[in-house]
Amino acid sequence: MLPIENFLNKVINGDVLEVLVQIPSDSVDLGITSPPYNKKERYGGWLVDKVVYKGVRDVLPEEDYQKWQVDVLNELFRIIKPGGSFFYNHKVRYENGRMIHPIEWLLKTKWTFWQEIVWNRKIAGNIRGWRFWQVDERIYWLVKGKPEELRPEHAKFTSVWEIRPEPGHKEHPAVFPIELPTRIIYSILDGKGIVIDPFCGTGTVLVAAKILGHDYIGVDISKDYVDYTLKRLDQAEKERNRVLKEISLHAVELTFEERKEMGLWDRKLKK
């Protein structure tokens, strides 16, 4: 293993497991990612024809895919500090009449489930009527030990996040809107920390971390995406306004404790 300083503020082009095994244990504060979904490059809708990545095939037997995800998540568990968190974005898939849920492999990892967040994207990619339109994805808050309690201005958000998909950065078929990692990083990290995205794609998580003043580590097997991310990081200031707009939502007039002390909580319950 190499010192953590060797990885800070780097975007590494390589196989995710080969890179992760080089990172020291208990060295990273927070992780956020959305891996390839193993959609076999044949499922699309009106938003995208097919989900095809540059430099890698998203085609694996489902059993192999799930084992790979367990291996990656367990390696990340080793890397994250005690008390640290990892936010894992995925979705419920349907294949040959069978529902495939991320819980199937997440329960096989070393992580503790802290919360399931529903990401309401408000838009669906399918145009057929076999099922009700799937507008949601899931974000699993996984923890290594017990995390710090959220401050009131962050805890006020519900477990359903209504954030529309990213309209730009069309070089990648599944880009995070920058508001999503901004909400996570700003809520979880109190003071400067290290944020990792092991499937960094076009670098949205890394850009959010940089704007918020944190160190970052990005990994992607596609050189095209790594090159794109490096250019995007160089121009990160162009995205600051969107980050600041998300931060502006993290405000409360009175904390839970202040409302209780003023009797507002009891008064509300008696109505």
> Band of the pLDDT at 37, cuts 50, 70, 90?
confident
Residue span of the structural domain in which 205 resides: 4-270
Q: How many domains does the chain have?
A: 1
pLDDT (mean) for 246-262 = 80
Q: For residues 140 and 152, give the distance between their C-alpha atoms in angstroms, rounded to a whole number.
A: 21
Q: Which residue has the higher pLDDT, 173 or 133?
A: 133
Over 50: is that where the pLDDT of 271 sits?
A: no
For the entire predicted model, the pTM comes to 0.87
pLDDT tens string 79-109: 999 999 999 999 998 888 899 999 999 999 9
Over 70: is that where the pLDDT of 59 sits?
A: no
Backbone phi, psi, residue 256, to 5°: -55, -45
The CA angle 68-72-74, to the nearest 5 degrees, is 115
Task: Give the amino acid at 265.
Answer: W
CATH of the domain at 25: 3.40.50.150
Q: Which own/partner pairs from 49-53 qualify as long-range (CB within 8 Å, at least 24 positions apart)?
A: 51/173, 51/174, 52/173, 53/172, 53/173, 53/222, 53/225
Do the beta carbons of residue 92 and residue 101 sit within 8 Å?
Answer: yes
Over 70: is that where the pLDDT of 76 sits?
A: yes
